[in-house]
A and B are shown apart, each in its own frame.
Chain A
């Protein structure tokens, strides 16, 4: 029983990483209606910026805040410069642009900061949480931050006018334009927010997986998985999805002997496919009800 509880908690801890990333994925999906494959690299690049600021002697939380601001601005700029000109192009053109962005950011990070693995500080400390050794202070802090971001996002989208304008612009751009909403700027804002959330995710993940240009490759995959299983239309679902992927992955690795460490991700992904067969819009995704 203790092993079981331990595995659940460990799963929650890694799930926190995926949940962070899933949240960023859903954020951009809401704004632009596709998945951004460069999301992980954007988060990685932001984390390098934070690392550089800290190296220059800036206090952690100041660097943290400044990185969020820089990432937000960079997200807006990327939308304006790279995606705005191809906004009416087919989806595949967008996918190519995302992949290009991924390659550019990955190489640029390697070029500027090289590929050696760097350690990244945790603001929460590395010791055990509540002295039990089941979860580290950093894991607990990361889960708390993810949940806090989720609450803030919920409040933003449900209770602010700009949040409503963003939802309207994503749901029905033409009609939003007729209501006087500047749809192009709403999309840019969505990119900015996704980049900012991604930067927080990157900074929280880096102390666990260490900082290097390829740190996000597999995590983004888990993030996508979490987002899809929870429902791409639901930020809350994405977070739960992220945690579930972490827990399932851990339990499968422990209790199914054949699986072992190597195959545990495959099991998690199989379960996700199974979930999607039953509920195509994800566990918490809202199927769109329309009367015709």
Chain B
């Protein structure tokens, strides 16, 4: 599997506080990689570092290009769609407008219209509510909208920050099913941050486990899942 994204010695800072301490990450093309760790381990910060939303040190290569230190808008334009924690809904805009905002970097009007319809095929509930103010959607629907908005970018890589957060188990199951389909049929690589380790390890091909900004272990998702020690000490199930 060729490497889509590589980070070497990634450090991140909030003001004077250092949050990541020399993380090495490597994300394969076409796969789903999950990033696990307890609260405060630096999972969200890792994603924010990759999309240029906090001060970093170290090297980041995306599709062979250095992206460290570049502006978020430029990184996004290279094909990284970040689905942020809290979903980033444009609550005053309609569902349809939210999707159109997701395609703001593209110029191909016809293809955009087709892609909106394609998002509706994956998420029929969004089609039913396409004229509704997005802020009035349920949490699950807003999460689906966030994923739909990310799809509109036609990304090579999707960064997903705790998509299961605050959702009912049934909705989570539906959402993760769709993520798997997206990965297979639309060939979108994914980096998934999750608190729910069992769920993430089932979906992912590879896994990284971090603790207070440092790498603990990495390997195929199955291997981490089957490692009794890691499971008990870090994943808590």
Contact = CB atoms under 8 A, between A and B. Distances in A.
Interface of A: 161, 164-165, 167-168, 171-172, 174-183, 286, 288-291
Contact of B135 (A165, A178, A180, A291): A291
B91 interface: yes
B156 interface: no
Contacts of A286: 92
Contact of B93 (A168, A180, A290): A168
B129 to A, nearest CB: 12
Contact of B90 (A172, A183, A289): A172
A171 B76 CA distance: 19
B100 A182 contact: no
A178 B104 contact: no
B31 interface: no
Given A161-B104, A165-B101, A290-B135, A175 B88 contact: yes
Given A167-B93, A177-B73, 18 more contacts: A164-B100, A167-B90, A167-B92, A171-B91, A171-B92, A174-B53, A177-B72, A178-B84, A179-B101, A179-B104, A179-B105, A180-B77, A180-B153, A181-B101, A289-B133, A289-B136, A291-B135, A291-B138
B88 A172 contact: yes
B91 A288 contact: yes
In which size bucket is the chain B interface?
20 to 34
A290 B135 CA distance: 5
Contacts of A177: 53, 72-73, 76
A165 B102 CA distance: 10
B46 interface: no
A161 B138 CA distance: 27
Given A288-B135, A290-B135, A181 B104 contact: yes
